[in-house]
Amino acid sequence: MMKMLQAEQTAGVPEIARIGGAEERWVTLNGVTWHYWFAGSGPPLLLIHGFMGYAFSWRFNMEPLSRYFSVYAMDLPGCGFSQRTNQPECRLAGDAEGVLRFMEHFGIENADIVGSSRGGGLTIILAALASRTNRLHRIRRLVLVSPINPWSSHGKVLTRLLATTLGGLYVVHVQPRLKIVAKRYFTALYGDPKRISPGTFAGYTAGVDEPGSFEHLGRILRSWREDLTTIGESLPEISGIPTLLLWGSRDRAVYPSSIHQLQRQLKNSALVMFQGAGHMPYEEVPDEFNRVLGDFLLHDAPRTPFEIAADGQPAVEFPEA
């Protein structure tokens, strides 16, 4: 039996971590309590955060999107204010099974899914898992925001080092005390640091201040290389799903140069590049991000290759952000 490192509900989620216009909720699935936010009505839309993130990442997106969708923004287990465990591994495949369980628990028959960075990799594996288990009908459209993938070389050496025993000791015992290093790393994720909103770093810090957070991050890093392999193996299984790739032109975390390889695999995908933005366009240029996302999910724009082939209509081009 897995040992729980956190009470079923985290008491007193700090004000800085709250999302305006959304309702805070909890659910226990397979013995683990998930913290999530819900807003709106309409077709279901799931938002999946990236590495070192949690639902707080979507604070500028939930309320605008909730005008048209039933929006769920979850803290994946071990992240934010969801429950920690001492499971020895934290692979994306396990997280993908958890998200499918989340959907089934709430009777979500099909949903649009948005995944960012590591959450984008999770979304790829989730869709492939649904395909293999005759549940592909649960996936309507995918939106992958600078998803981690085998063709972006940035961080591969660092993740290998941090996945070692000594690297793990650094992650768990040293990194939590080096706030200035973390802040410099975080700032580099933006194309223009002047667009970092007040309280952003404090909000992300609140999510990793929970006991067991850095142990969980260490387990993620130990599985990183295997997860990249699984992502690559999953892509052929989901090549026909309507997919929108969103990227910042100044992304220093997952290189835009990897887009072309991804699009070769995702044959029914369209791309929108946010000029001047970094790794997190949903935070850096949220108004433009929300517009582009809404147009794709509500109006089929930009059109995917299969849609264009079906009716011969030209693709819609968006102005540069």
Q: At residue 11, does pLDDT exceed 70?
A: no
Higher confidence at residue 114 or residue 157? Answer: 114
Q: What is the pLDDT of residue 160?
A: 55
CA-based nearest residue to 321, from 186, 199, 142, 195? 195
Q: What is the pLDDT of residue 113?
A: 98
Whole-Å CA distances, 75 to 17, 80, 82, 151, 172: 12, 6, 6, 27, 20
CA 165 to chain CA centroid, Å, is: 27
Packing angle, helices 213-222 and 224-234, rounded to 10: 60
What is the pLDDT averaged over residues 71-82? 96
Beta-strand (E) ranges in 85-165? 111-116, 139-145
Q: What is the pLDDT of residue 154?
A: 61
Count CB atoms within 10 A of the CB of residue 105.
13
Average pLDDT, the chain: 87
What is the pLDDT averaged over residues 8-22? 80
Q: What is the pLDDT of residue 156?
A: 57
Domain 15-311 in CATH 3.40.50.1820: yes
What is the pLDDT averaged over residues 107-126? 97
Higher confidence at residue 211 or residue 44? Answer: 44
**Residue 162 — pLDDT band, cuts 50, 70, 90?**
very low
Q: What is the pLDDT of residue 190?
A: 96
Q: At residue 312, does pLDDT exceed 80?
A: no
Domain extent listing, the chain: 15-311
Q: Which of 11-15, 82-86, 245-249, 261-265 is predicted least confidently? A: 11-15
Residue 139 CA to residue 15 CA, distance in Å, equals: 33
Please give the DSSP secondary-structure letter assigned to residue 237: G
Confidence (pTM) = 0.89
Residue 176: Cβ-neighbour burial (10 angstroms; 0-12, 13-18, 19+): middle
Alpha-helix runs per DSSP H in 9-91: 62-65
pLDDT tens digits for 127-153?
A: 999 999 999 999 999 999 999 999 987
Residue 250 CA to residue 236 CA, distance in Å, equals: 28
Point out which residues pair with 245 in neighbouring strands: 144, 271
CA-based nearest residue to 86, from 2, 163, 10? 2
Point out which residues pair with 85 in neighbouring strands: 4
pLDDT tens digits for 221-271?
A: 888 999 999 999 999 999 999 999 999 999 999 999 999 999 999 999 999
Q: What is the pLDDT of residue 180?
A: 53
Higher confidence at residue 266 or residue 321? Answer: 266
What is the pLDDT averaged over residues 199-214? 88
CA 196 to chain CA centroid, Å, is: 19
Six-digit token pair at 33? 């309590």
CA-based nearest residue to 16, from 208, 187, 167? 208
Q: What is the pLDDT of residue 169?
A: 38
